[in-house]
Structure 1
Amino acid sequence: MKKVLSLILLSSSVAWAQVKPSDDNTRSDLRYNLNESGSHYVKATFTNQAWFRFNENNPGTTVTGDPKTNTFDIGLRRTRMQLFGQITDRIFFYTQFGMNNFNKVSAFPAYNTTGTPSNRKVAAFFHDALGEYEVQRKGTNFIRFGGGLTIMNGLSRFSQPSIGSIMTLDVPVFAQATVDQTDQFSRKLAVYSRGQIGKINYRVAVADPFPLETSGSVPPAINQNAAFSQRKNHKQFDALLVYNIFDTEDNTTPGYMTGTYLGKRKVFNIEAGIITQKNATWRREATDTLYSNMNLWSVAAYLDMPLNTQTGSAVSAYMGYFGTDYGKGYLRYNGIMNPATGTAQPIAGVGGTHGNAYPMFGTGSVIYSQAGYKFKDGLLGSQGTLMPYASLQYADYERLRDGMSVYNVGVNWLIKGHTGKMSLNYENRPVYRNSSNANELEANGRRGAFTLQYQISI
């Protein structure tokens, strides 16, 4: 009996482990092969990003009613599980389940200042659930069609990021243009096509945005500035073209684009993308309700390649320009995993200005850049290597008298690539107040935050 049990355990272990390096690193996959060649398979992954953060709060910040000049919080920025696989030569499925931005105040509604009970145990949900069919393949060229709940969209690389391979502490969230407004944490119900034709990678999609009223927050009252509309909703159209000058990128999972390959590939891309939606926003002018189309576009270049293939040193860089037209006067504050719940010094015309929030989204334009350098493998012996980085977001939004700049500097300790890494990051952001023009904000100092992240990704 013991021998039989041992045999069962051994065969089960072999079936699921089947250690097979992925295309982009040397970690072992949690993978079950459905055929002898391994071309048909089911794979599971897990990623957890724990944050330990000290934040200088915006003026007037309160935490559950108590004034707080600064805060220290512990949270889970992302906790995700994926299950996906190639069932036949043509059929692929992908699902992702998890939660985001979970800290001690994450279940405290932004509009609740009376202490009404809420539920902290409702954070996890399906991020993605889709099926895909490959209609053609020849070498590295392919054309696929799919549909379901997906992050596939058109604006840019960082509008659909592979979060386990981020180089900086976090992605530039402004590029996830409608996040938690008319989507589900950047995911929408959509039909799409994606493919690789020679040097060109394409993705096009038609999405059915969620009503703003289902976002979990009280929608803002219609006023002189554009906000997502509650009437006359239309479908959203997305398209992204990427020209691969050197290597093509990993195209396994729909939508998701790698942050950095850590020198495992030689990648240099030029990209252009667009998102458009009719009557996406509305505003009030005198007694009239006016609707505006949302037109977002970007052009960018991405570089990620080894400098020395013998030592493993590498460089990664990105530069992009974004045109962001949400409608006249659109401006939205957002704070990543905000450690606060309210403010005693509200700013007229905008909401959610507490904690670590800043005007992240707006009608105007944005320039975003990032760069990092990976030192040689084994710089720290058996404890891995280091990769310092820096990023800058500069925005020129209609309602900001002064341009907005947010910069981050930090270093990754790559204990085992992206599988196990720690990141220490400093972010510096602007603070605003109402100006003499009641509908315009002016700069009023800056605040910073130190964050230590520990990532486990299998």
Structure 2
Amino acid sequence: MDRKYFKLGLIILSALGLGSKVEAQKKNDFNNPPLTHYLNDEHTRYLSFSGYAEIWARYTQLNPGSLVNNEAESQMSDLSLRRVRVKMTYKPTEKLMFVLQGGTTNVNLNAKSSNYFDLLDAYAEYSFSDKVALGAGRSTWRGLSRFTTGPLNTLLYDLPAYATSNAGTTDYTVRELSAYIKGQLGKFDYRMVLADPYTMATADPKLNVATFSKSAPRKDFSGYFRYAFLDKENISTPFNSGTYVGKKNVLSLGAGFDYIHDAMWHLDSSKNTVNDDMRSLAVDLFYDAPLNKDKGTSVSAYAMAMHNDYGPNYVRYVGTNNPATGVDATQASLNGAGNAMPVIGTGNTYYMQLGGTLPYFNKDKKDLQLQPAVGVQLSNLEALKDNAVIYDAGISLLMNGMSSRLTFNAQNRPVYTNDAANGAVASDRKWQFVLKYRIDFN
């Protein structure tokens, strides 16, 4: 073995060993020392590693006309990697922090040629105080609503579909190149973001139906503002927790916005191209509290109302981790291939979820408990004659808190077709069942 690499290995092992000694009193959900190496005795400077992996086993009733490798299928089962993330956080001074994260998303049978381990986040942040911090780079820092930034301790198997509804159009896996300002003023916290959205539109403008424009993208302005009536929440990362499993007592009211000038376009009745702004407003309420700490019981609830204006008759159908490879246009519904469903559009969207933890199986060990939850999304969209209603119900087995959990989720979604008057109506409903295992590295 090359002596240079041998020495490097000894240095790394020594650093990890030092981190373990320093952190002997602090444990993660696995009762192990966290993957953190402190650079000073005050523990204000550090290098830490974290990440997670989510594995799905799924059965899906496919939308009409769905193709899997050019063969018509009405249903299928599959195994996939929903997300894999590896993250490094480096804090060389009390004021400066750098975050680097890589990973891959939606590794399924439909993605054999695109299973890249991508650069996801790379941003730096300078904190003047708890009240003001500035950051820039590529990240999920953005505004609008609690769950717009992506998943963290989700109550159900995944985020509600509306939350990251522009994923893949103006961003890349919910990431944009951006600069942000954030802070906490007592019980009030805020974030405001200025981003350069990506342009991925490939279609020309349509008659009286807005689509994303192929023109040069304008700036994406977003913000989220929140007041904590009880415990304050951590804002060191862009992610907001979906549940604290009773470890905090939280009641927070939030409001946010997202705006891109001339993001959309359409043709008017005279076949002239008209540009449309993208405007979104949201308010939400989150509650999470212990019921009996000795038994481990807790309750978690979330409610959200959002208004979106993308221009006339815009609606987006998305299939999360879509297992289909194509669709037969002669048999297709408006949903498109696979498990796609209407998740966002010009109009109003409302979402609610409720859940909580049941008593520990063994109160002394406090290592196993069940967490049931339900959720419903209702969207009243301009382009749809019938409201889009999506139901979720699931139950999780928490084996090591939220760091190792097995979740079963059942989802029921609408399928849209045009009626005789060319109106989009919900003509059918389909099911999807997901068994997910998630493990955190921290």
TM above 0.5, yes or no, is yes
Offset at residue 232 of structure 1 (A): 4.8
Q: Does the Cα contact within 8 Å between 1:143 and 1:194 map onto a contact in 2?
A: yes
3-state SS, counterpart of residue 318 of structure 1: strand
Matched, 1:79 2:84: yes
For 1:91-102, list aligned pairs within 5 A.
91-102=96-107
Matched, 1:375 2:358: yes
The counterpart of 1:280, out of the listed 263, 266, 270, is: 263
CA distance in 2, matches of 1:363, 1:223: 15
- Residue 450 (structure 1) aligns with: 433
- Residue 158 (structure 1) aligns with: 147
- Residue 258 (structure 1) aligns with: 241
Matched, 1:15 2:18: yes
The counterpart of 1:61, out of the listed 54, 59, 66, is: 66
3-state SS, counterpart of residue 223 of structure 1: coil
The counterpart of 2:157, out of the listed 169, 174, 183, is: 169
Offset at residue 173 of structure 1 (A): 2.7
- Residue 227 (structure 1) aligns with: 211
Cα offsets for 1:387-420 (capped at 9, x unmatched) = 0000101101111111011111010100001111
Offset at residue 16 of structure 1 (A): 3.8
CA distance in 2, matches of 1:5, 1:42: 17
- Residue 43 (structure 2) aligns with: 38
CA distance in 1, matches of 2:333, 2:126: 46
Q: Which letter maps to 1:79?
A: V
Instruction: Give 5+ residue unaligned stretches, structure 2.
Output: 1-6
Matched, 1:295 2:279: yes
Cα offsets for 1:241-283 (capped at 9, x unmatched) = 0000011112222x11112111111111000000011101001
Q: Does the Cα contact within 8 Å between 2:291 and 2:299 map onto a contact in 1?
A: yes
TM-score, normalised relative to structure 2: 0.92
Offset at residue 98 of structure 1 (A): 0.3
Cα offsets for 1:194-217 (capped at 9, x unmatched) = 10001101000111111225xxxx
Q: Does the Cα contact within 8 Å between 1:346 and 1:353 map onto a contact in 2?
A: no
Matched, 1:336 2:324: no
- Residue 271 (structure 1) aligns with: 254
Offset at residue 186 of structure 1 (A): 1.0
Matched, 1:179 2:179: no
Matched, 1:145 2:148: no
Offset at residue 166 of structure 1 (A): 1.2
**Structure 1 residues 212 and 376, CA gap change in structure 2 (3 angstroms):** same
Q: Does the Cα contact within 8 Å between 1:24 and 1:264 map onto a contact in 2?
A: no
Q: Does the Cα contact within 8 Å between 1:282 and 1:292 map onto a contact in 2?
A: yes
**Structure 1 residues 406 and 125, CA gap change in structure 2 (3 angstroms):** same
Identity of aligned residues (%): 31
CA distance in 2, matches of 1:275, 1:7: 49
**Structure 1 residues 347 and 284, CA gap change in structure 2 (3 angstroms):** farther
CA distance in 2, matches of 1:166, 1:236: 26
3-state SS, counterpart of residue 158 of structure 1: coil
CA distance in 1, matches of 2:78, 2:333: 29
CA distance in 2, matches of 1:377, 1:303: 21
The CA RMSD over aligned residues, in Å, is: 2.4
Cα offsets for 1:311-346 (capped at 9, x unmatched) = 221111100001011111111110010111122245
**Structure 1 residues 24 and 149, CA gap change in structure 2 (3 angstroms):** farther
Cα offsets for 1:111-168 (capped at 9, x unmatched) = xxxxxxxx244x321221100001124xxxx31001111111111011013x341111
CA distance in 2, matches of 1:349, 1:53: 22
The count of residues paired between Structure 1 and Structure 2 equals: 430
**Structure 1 residues 394 and 20, CA gap change in structure 2 (3 angstroms):** farther
3-state SS, counterpart of residue 14 of structure 1: helix
- Residue 347 (structure 2) aligns with: 364
CA distance in 1, matches of 2:200, 2:46: 38
The counterpart of 1:103, out of the listed 105, 108, 116, is: 108
Q: Does the Cα contact within 8 Å between 1:106 and 1:337 map onto a contact in 2?
A: no
For 1:190-201, list aligned pairs within 5 A.
190-201=178-189
**Structure 1 residues 353 and 87, CA gap change in structure 2 (3 angstroms):** same
Cα offsets for 1:28-58 (capped at 9, x unmatched) = 4211111112111111012000000000111
Offset at residue 383 of structure 1 (A): 5.3
TM-score, normalised relative to structure 1: 0.89
Q: Which letter maps to 1:211?
A: T
CA distance in 2, matches of 1:277, 1:183: 13
For 1:385-404, list aligned pairs within 5 A.
385-404=369-388
Offset at residue 59 of structure 1 (A): 1.3
Q: Which letter maps to 2:288?
A: D
**Structure 1 residues 19 and 423, CA gap change in structure 2 (3 angstroms):** farther
Q: Does the Cα contact within 8 Å between 1:347 and 1:353 map onto a contact in 2?
A: no
Q: Does the Cα contact within 8 Å between 1:59 and 1:345 map onto a contact in 2?
A: no
Instruction: Give 5+ residue unaligned stretches, structure 1.
Output: 108-118, 214-218
**Structure 1 residues 172 and 146, CA gap change in structure 2 (3 angstroms):** same
Matched, 1:430 2:414: yes
Q: Does the Cα contact within 8 Å between 2:30 and 2:400 map onto a contact in 1?
A: no
3-state SS, counterpart of residue 159 of structure 1: coil
3-state SS, counterpart of residue 136 of structure 1: coil
Q: Does the Cα contact within 8 Å between 2:290 and 2:296 map onto a contact in 1?
A: yes
Q: Does the Cα contact within 8 Å between 1:301 and 1:319 map onto a contact in 2?
A: yes
Offset at residue 309 of structure 1 (A): 2.1
